[in-house]
Amino acid sequence: MSVMKYAACIEYDGTNYHGWQRLKDTPSVQEEVEQALSRVANHLIQVTCAGRTDSGVHGIGQVIHFESDASRDEKAWCMGCNTNLPDNIVLRWIQQMDDDFHARFSATSRRYRYIILNHKIRPALLDNKVCWFRENLDESLMQDAANRLIGEHDFSSFRASGCQAKHAMRELQEITITRDGKYVYVDIVANAFLHHMVRNIVGSLFEVGTKRHSPAWFSELLTVKDRSQAGITASACGLYFVSVDYPKRFELPDKASPPSFGI
């Protein structure tokens, strides 16, 4: 029986997991997904993802690929996998692919959304789903600062000390800050991301939004290439891996919409 390649989209609440990547003796999203798919296939399956997420980070449109010689149609794969997944993880779609598709290397960009509850009172129902920031934020100043990151730059000032990437050059294609009542959304698209890059950018945006630094400070951070000069690492709970872009020839299903809590 021939081996087939599949792409699939995973949605997950990352609150109770130590990130996407399979780790020894700690719960991970990847481990849960691989175990569920393996039960459906009746053989061991290992998956490759578009981009790993950290402990506590959520996923709306994480894309994976895997191979199997099991004779299953797409409906059987999807229903069988979801039956074996915990309630906080779901397989949204699955599709047979040509051999040249790769969840990571075929991707042209990744999109994240960071959600901030900008309010004096902490959340209860949305605990672990948004980042609570009680000081008033000026989103127009934050956008002015963020615009300075557009393009290809060395993002060393926004890179975690333990980042294993070979270099810090990344192309940030889009970053938009919007407010809907007490919620502030940071939407960011890049060809790829460094470890903690989005959270470090948001932590620095807090400095600008509270007027402790001017927007021009972001240009300085790109120049100094020094993580210690930038802001804090914003909490993981406000971060969502929204979607991945691929060349149209792969004909993947439409991407999910980013989460929104504004009223």
User: pLDDT tens for residues 29-86?
Assistant: 999 999 999 999 999 999 999 999 999 999 999 999 999 999 899 999 999 999 999 9
CA-CA-CA-CA dihedral for 248, 249, 252, 258, to nearest 10: -20
Q: Which amino acid is at 221?
A: L
Instruction: Name 114's bridge partners.
Output: 186, 239
Q: Is 68 left (phi over 0), alpha (psi -120 to 50) or beta?
A: beta
Confidence of residue 2 (pLDDT cuts 50, 70, 90): confident
Other beta carbons within 10 angstroms of residue 140's beta carbon come to 11
**Cα 90 to the chain's mean position, in Å?**
16
> Does the active-site annotation cover 25?
no
Contact 32, 119 (CB under 8 A): no
Mean pLDDT calculated for residue range 122-143: 96
**Which CATH number does the domain 109-242 belong to among 3.40.50.1950, 3.40.190.80, 1.20.1440.230, 3.30.70.660?**
3.30.70.660
Residue 3 has pLDDT above 70, yes or no: yes
Residue 187's beta-bridge partner residues? 113, 176
Among 13, 25, 54, 138, the one annotated catalytic: 54
Residues 196-253: tens digit of each pLDDT: 999 999 999 999 999 999 999 999 999 999 999 999 999 999 999 999 999 999 999 9
Question: What is the rounded end-to-end Cα distance, in angstroms, of the chain?
Answer: 53
CA-to-CA separations, 194 to 158, 164, 169, 239, in angstroms, rounded: 8, 8, 9, 14
**What is the rounded distance in angstroms from the CA atom of residue 178 to the CA atom of residue 170?**
23
- Residues 6 or more apart in contact with residue 40 via CB below 8 angstroms: 70, 72, 76, 77, 80, 81, 84
How many CB atoms lie under 10 A from the CB of residue 127? 12
Domain boundaries, the chain: 4-106, 109-242
We find that the CATH architecture of domain 4-106 is 2-Layer Sandwich (3.30)
pLDDT at 263: 52
Burial tier of 48 (Cβ tally within 10 Å: 0-12, 13-18, 19+): middle
**C-beta pairs of 117-122 under 8 Å, 24+ apart in sequence:** 117/182, 117/183, 117/261, 118/179, 118/182, 118/183, 118/184, 119/182
**Looking at the whole model, is its pTM more than 0.75?**
yes
The count of other CB atoms within 10 Å of the CB of residue 235 is 19
DSSP 8-state assignment for residue 25: T
Sequence-distant (≥ 6) Cβ neighbours of residue 124 within 8 angstroms? none
Q: Which of 78, 31, 74 is nearest to 52 (CA)?
A: 31
**CATH topology agreement for domains 4-106 and 109-242:** yes
